[in-house]
């Protein structure tokens, strides 16, 4: 049966842009994200590549539309010395990846490789600087190396290494998880460190001012946000980060694919908690910055489960199911709702790590359910958010419940309205009656991502088990749109 839900969209109240940067991704030197996933080396004759970067992955990511990519970490960023990753690949020193599996890397994927890959992808790079074990000079030099077009020691070095023109990188992270792997600092101490590092990050002549992002709170550590907003002058702060993973229990994360309904319910509780989390961090930011000049950057989010059996526990390789698809859909709807303050976000991580959009196995590649959601939702990038009111039915599990339905909507530059809906209830379909205020539309089309079981996923042997299909469950009459959402589904509609 279908449960009843009511939604109102008011297009006359649409004013905030959904910054396309909230559709960003994250690539860390971790497991097979970089080596094997994005990069296979320029001498690889088995896997087609452009300067060492996998062609199949590049094509898939371009189709999905990826506005920004954060690199090289994560925890790895605070161990990374960028000068070890430039110049002749034969002469580069190695680095032991101390956080992730203790593997020795040859530094063959460095600054040039990453920034040229971003060019190829049509994506904006977001570089995370080393604050935990680096120096002010090292980060200041990195900014000069990638952004200075004039004559300077670092610009000259870049030219010697074959790159004449500066790349003009706008987004910079000043450390990562400074409260943890980035140095185990206290908020007050990090605020001072941030001020020092940010002082020497120069806006070179690349035409755009740097967008500096302070290492932000671990989930509900509201005090962290409070101290940073209070102690860092806002003229030197463009964004403040927030990390939140949908993890059931750090000591018992549960399997990625063979999970129970209880696992599923708890994951979704964590995922939907993002709404409250953003509201509360935003309230603190509003107190110090009522004009919302400083962005909230959710630069790590996603589902985190146990690694696949037989894989290195330090590589964080996990399958990706319909659970991840509804998690992504519901989270993006939350970001849309808070688009005034949340102006960038990065799903962790892009290939082969955590909630990846792409998985690879030697020359094979598959797209995950999360990929399909990110691709279906890309119509919202840079569109204007239409406020939504929802009276949702509950998804009940035991004595607990969550709202089953989540909805967001936007109007793009051509005036076309898109509505995205998720039903996290794995047992019941939802009938939704949507009151369209200020929208004149006669026809509706759409796509749906769903599957018989929430555990369903794609494999290298069955790569298209979960993929979007044409949606026929919507009809429009007068000012009302009626939608029949199947259980465990993500739908994107277009009104004409």
Instruction: Point out which residues bind ligand AHR (CB under 6 A).
Output: 28, 73-75, 176-177, 300, 348-349, 354
Q: Which is nearer to ligand AHR, 26 or 39 (CB)?
A: 26
| Catalytic residue (choose from 300, 308, 375, 494) | 300
Tell the smallest beta-carbon distance from residue 100 to ligand AHR (Å): 8
CB of 74 to ligand AHR, least distance (A): 3
Q: Which is nearer to ligand AHR, 306 or 340 (CB)?
A: 306
300 is catalytic: yes
Minimum CB distance to ligand AHR smaller for 66 or for 75: 75
> What is the closest distance, in whole angstroms, from the C-beta atom of residue 73 to ligand AHR in the complex?
5
Which residue, 82 or 167, is less far from ligand AHR as judged by CB?
82
Closest to ligand AHR by CB, 300 or 425: 300
Backbone angles phi, psi at 236, to 5 degrees: -115, 20
| Nearest residue to ligand AHR on Cβ basis | 74
List 105, 177, 238, 375, catalytic entry: 177
Minimum gap (Å) between residue 182 Cβ and ligand AHR = 8
In the bound state with ligand AHR, the residue whose beta carbon lies nearer, of 28 and 425, is 28
Asked about 261 being catalytic, the answer comes back as no
Nearest-approach distance from CB 459 to ligand AHR, in angstroms: 23
Taking the complex as a whole, the smallest distance from the CB of residue 270 to ligand AHR amounts, in Å, to: 15
Known catalytic residues are 177, 300
């Amino acid at each position: 049966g279908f449960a009843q839900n009511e939604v109102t969209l008011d297009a006359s109240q649409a004013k905030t842009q959904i910054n396309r940067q909230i559709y960003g991704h994250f690539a860390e030197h971790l497991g097979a994200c970089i080596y094997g996933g994005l990069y296979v080396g320029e001498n690889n004759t088995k896997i087609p590549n452009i300067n060492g970067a996998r062609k199949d992955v590049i094509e898939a990511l371009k189709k999905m539309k990826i506005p920004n990519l954060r690199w090289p970490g994560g925890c790895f960023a605070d161990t990374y010395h960028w000068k070890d990753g430039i110049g002749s690949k034969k002469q580069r020193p190695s680095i032991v990846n101390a956080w992730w599996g203790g593997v020795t890397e040859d530094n063959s994927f460095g600054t040039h490789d990453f920034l040229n890959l971003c060019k190829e992808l049509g994506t904006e790079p977001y570089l995370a600087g080393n604050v935990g074990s680096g120096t002010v000079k090292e980060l200041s030099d990195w900014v000069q190396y990638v952004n200075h077009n004039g004559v300077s020691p670092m610009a000259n070095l870049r030219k010697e290494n074959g790159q004449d023109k500066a790349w003009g990188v706008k987004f910079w992270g000043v450390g990562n998880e400074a409260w943890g792997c980035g140095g185990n600092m206290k908020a007050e101490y990090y605020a001072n460190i941030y001020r020092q590092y940010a002082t020497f990050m120069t806006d070179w002549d690349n035409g755009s001012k740097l967008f500096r992002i302070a290492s932000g709170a671990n989930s509900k550590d509201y005090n962290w946000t409070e101290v940073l907003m209070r102690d860092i002058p806002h003229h030197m702060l463009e964004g403040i980060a927030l990390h939140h993973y949908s993890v059931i229990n750090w000591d018992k994360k549960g399997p990625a694919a063979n999970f129970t309904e209880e696992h599923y319910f708890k994951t979704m509780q964590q995922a939907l908690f993002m709404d409250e989390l953003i509201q509360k961090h935003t309230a603190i930011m509003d107190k110090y910055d009522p004009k919302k000049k400083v962005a909230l950057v959710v630069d790590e989010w996603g589902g985190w489960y146990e690694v696949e059996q037989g894989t290195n526990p330090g590589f964080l390789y996990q399958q990706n199911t319909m659970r991840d698809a509804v998690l992504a859909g519901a989270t993006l709807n939350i970001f849309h709702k808070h688009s005034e303050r949340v102006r960038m976000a990065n799903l962790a991580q892009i290939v082969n790590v955590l909630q990846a959009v792409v998985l690879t196995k030697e020359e094979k590649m598959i797209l995950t359910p999360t990929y399909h959601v990110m691709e279906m939702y890309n119509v919202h990038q840079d569109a204007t958010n239409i406020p939504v009111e929802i009276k949702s039915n509950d998804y009940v599990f035991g004595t607990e419940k969550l709202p089953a339905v989540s909805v967001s909507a936007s109007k793009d530059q051509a005036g076309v309205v898109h509505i995205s809906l998720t039903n996290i209830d794995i047992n019941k379909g939802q009938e939704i009656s949507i009151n369209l205020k200020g929208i004149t539309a006669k026809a509706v089309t759409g796509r749906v991502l769903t599957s018989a079981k929430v555990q369903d996923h794609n494999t290298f042997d069955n790569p298209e088990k979960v993929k979007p299909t044409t949606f026929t469950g919507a009809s429009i009459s007068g000012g009302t749109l009626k939608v029949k959402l199947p259980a465990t589904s993500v739908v994107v509609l277009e009104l004409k």
